[in-house]
Amino acid sequence: MFKAKYYYDSKTLSYRKIKVSKGVHFRNIMAFITASAFFGVITLFFLLQSPVLNTPTELSQAREISNYKFQLELMNKKLDQLNIVLEEIEQRDNNIYRVLFETNPIPSEVRKAGFGGVNRYKNLEGYDNSKLITETTKKIEILTKQIVIQSKSLDEIERLAIEKEKLLAAIPSIQPIKRGDLTRMASGYGYRTDPFNKTRKMHYGMDFTAPRNTPVYAASDGKIVRADSRSTGYGKHIRIDHGFGYMTLYAHLNKYNVVRGQKVKKGDIIGFVGNTGRSQAPHLHYEVWKDKKRVNPINYYLGNLSPEEFDDLLKLANQENQSLD
């Protein structure tokens, strides 16, 4: 029930009851209902946006999403750090390892090449954190490819290192007669006087004088390909194939300590000094071959001579005198 309202009538000097029409009364009621509904909707909207009304499941999911975002951001930082480390390895690979083993560096555009395909990451679009997820995925894929390339590169470096080790073992590097056993270095590589006809001709090896049966040593690792006296002038001689185009020859031996096909190591005793073949006195005639051409043996004695001893040997080798064969 609504309370009756009155007003004071100054003409009749009395109070009169205010009469409200049904139409006005209805409009007032509708205005109240409309205002109430409007404020109710506004209040409900703000409540729905507030976490106050979220269910425990929704709150848990929101926390998980926030945690995932944090983990992705942390992963991105770690990927950046890994990329820095990988770049340092790549720099050492190109500028040290590949230079050392005389092979071409891997271009940066090959190491950092992206992936083909139109909109490769389309399935990652449409989410609140799509940009973060896409960038992280890109970094992981590119980093994975770089690691694969670097791994293959290191495999190649390992193979080259093994080959380099074999090459170093194959290069003749020691004097075939120990310095203490030598009488003297009689003649070097170059034009010398022939001891038999006294003409000037090319001498393709080095002559080391030493007592008969002085041990002769293999200049490096290799395989005996000849141990016979069937070559004119050399008498009993040995030839060792060291691989990589290197071969050494030891001539005028008195006897052998190896047989054809036998594998030897640097420093093994392969024979003994003699005076067989075209020779004027007991000595060892020593030759070094590279790619089927005879080269100066003086360049292959650094393994067992001091710098001073090498200088002395070099001076003697350069003297143009008479050879012994």
Q: How far apart are alpha carbons 185 and 314 in whole angstroms?
A: 10
Sheet holding 215-217, edge to edge: 215-217, 269-273, 253-256
Regarding predicted confidence, which is higher, 183 or 79? 79
Confidence of residue 290 (pLDDT cuts 50, 70, 90): very high
Confidence of residue 124 (pLDDT cuts 50, 70, 90): low
Would the pTM count as exceeding 0.85? no
pLDDT tens figures, 291-319: 999 999 988 886 666 677 777 777 776 77
Burial class (CB in 10 A: 0-12, 13-18, 19+), 179: middle
pLDDT tens figures, 140-164: 887 888 888 888 888 888 888 888 8
Regarding predicted confidence, which is higher, 31 or 241? 241
Nearest to 232 by CA among 211, 251, 216: 251
Q: How far apart are alpha carbons 92 and 88 in whole angstroms?
A: 6
259-277: average pLDDT = 95
Res 127: pLDDT: 63
Residue 237 appears among annotated catalytic residues: no
What is the DSSP code string of 109-138?
HHHT----STTTTGGG-SSTTHHHHHHHHH
Helix (H, G, I), strand (E, B) or coil at 18: coil
Query: Where exactly are the structural domains of the chain?
Result: 6-52, 67-170, 179-317
Question: Which residue is catalytic, options 203, 237, 283, 285?
Answer: 283
Q: Of the CATH numbers 2.70.70.10, 2.40.50.140, 2.40.110.10, 3.40.50.2000, which one belongs to the domain with range 179-317? A: 2.70.70.10
Res 51: pLDDT: 58
Enter the tokens of residue 52: 């106050």
What is the DSSP code string of 19-32?
P--HHHHHHHHHHH
Average model confidence (pLDDT) across the chain: 80
Helices (H), 95-241: 98-100, 108-111, 130-170
Res 61: pLDDT: 67
